[in-house]
Amino acid sequence: MKPLAPVQLSAEETVFVRGLVLYEDAKVLALNKPAGLSSQGGRGQVHTLDELLWAFAKPGKARPRLIHRLDRDTSGVILTAKTKPAAGFLGKALMRRAFSKTYLAIVTPGPPEPRGGVIDLPLRRDEQGREAYMRVCAPDHPDAEAARSRYRTLKDAAGAALLELAPETGRMHQLRVHLAALGRPIAGDARYGGALVVGGHAVPRLMLHAAALSFPHPGGGTKRLEAPPPADLAGLITTLGLG
């Protein structure tokens, strides 16, 4: 496969992406992705995170490789590999589900019932023009993909709840669709029925944050990385009395 040509970044873009670094060593680089930045395959003139990774490439060398993705409007921990062997190691670990991911989400109109448990609902991809959705489907549907998500309610207040989520599989939009299926869509998720106003307060975007990631490190042992909630999510948590 022909290597990708480097992407030319502005000085501002380089400073921006370097400011997202959560952790770095010789083998891995982890970033705290902001909401609104596509991981890969974005449309338009704005560079994706995958392209911004050229800011970390050594002269004549490849950029770090994304190991997984986050939805454009989801914030939080995202992991890359700095070497080809590390990418292979982490890719295999991801396939065997050796990664442990923890998310935070605000849902409405209150806590799910029961307040914690496992959502085990198969999903299928549904293409509508240029847009892709995921839908809950029967296990025997020809396009069904197994999907499991754990959840627990951390706190609830009038009309909303703060949940901790742990996907056991990695389907596109999995947490968003699973919570919508419980009748508790994530606030700000217009695609899957999430409220755009909660308690009289406008919701600025999808209130979903990848708060922590544990993974087997290519150099040995397990590494856990955490990203604090961004200001918009932290502010809404406080405003709604969910802190």
Q: Show the DSSP H helices in the chain as ranges.
A: 11-18, 49-52, 84-95, 174-181, 231-239
Contact 42, 48 (CB under 8 A): yes
In 3D, which of 91, 5, 90 has the Cα closest to residue 54?
Answer: 5
Q: Is 67 left (phi over 0), alpha (psi -120 to 50) or beta?
A: alpha
**Cα 61 vs. chain centroid, distance in angstroms?**
27
What's the sign of the alpha-carbon dihedral 53, 207, 139, 116?
positive
In the set 25, 50, 71, 189, the catalytic residue is 71
Question: Is 189 an annotated catalytic residue?
Answer: no
Element (H, E) at 22: strand 21-24
Question: Would you name the residues annotated as active-site residues?
Answer: 71
